[in-house]
Amino acid sequence: MGFLDTLFGRSKPVKPDLDQLFGVPSAALTLEAGAGFTPTGLGSVCFAAVEGAAFVQVEQQVRALLDADTERGGVPVEASKDGYGYSWLLARHRPEELPELVNDLHAVNSELEANGFGPQLLCSLVGFRDPEGQSLALVYLYKRGTFYPVCKRPDQQERDNALEIELANLLKNDLRIEPDLSRWFPVWGAPGMEE
């Protein structure tokens, strides 16, 4: 970073660090012990699809990779588009298989990144729920290399901001938490959060 960048308050963008995803299983232990949230077994990756045969081929490779265990009883990955036109790949595992779920999410991100589609990656999320039915998503922002929690109040389209801050503080030793609260975007209807 140069002198003018410092003077004008510009900073270099954070390089994505997909290995941060592997911190989610230890964060899950902290969430359960400190707040009663347990994994749902659902996780998803969001990306901006692009036109062209190369992207279609990579997307098919990713789906084939995640669907490889369907012959042994695994659940096939589900693809969908949201209201904004972004693509989502939803992976399902049993709640106790959180490390396997994280491996799947890491594989999707890595495969897209390795094939030159890193700029299309937006976020990944892992779903949690507490005994009262409140949902939580730990959202990994690909371009920032950070996480933030999104808590939805039961039966409402409303966030529990106080709980989100509390959980971020609880998880700060397990995950790299996004410091800019304006980047804590809601992910209503995201596959993996609301099922």
Q: What is the pLDDT of residue 4?
A: 47
Tell me the three state secondary structure of residue 114.
helix
Helix 24-35 vs helix 161-171: crossing angle, to nearest 10 = 120
Q: What share of the chain is helix, strand, coil (3-state, %, to 5)?
A: 40, 25, 35
* Confidence (pTM): 0.84
Q: Can you point out the beta strands (E) in 37-153?
A: 38-47, 78-81, 87-92, 121-129, 135-141, 146-152
Q: Compute the distance between CA of residue 140 and CA of residue 142 in angstroms, rounded to an integer.
A: 6
The per-residue pLDDT for 17 is 78
Predicted confidence at residue 192, as pLDDT, reads 83
| H/E segment holding residue 56 | helix 53-66
pLDDT one-digit tens code per residue, 50-84:
776 766 777 777 777 766 665 555 566 787 888 88
Segments of the chain with pLDDT less than 70: 1-16, 52, 54-55, 66-76, 194-195
CA distances from 7 to 3, 4, 13, 14, 73 (A): 6, 5, 16, 19, 57
Output the 3-class SS for 164-175.
Answer: HHHHHHHHCCCC
| pLDDT on residue 167 | 97
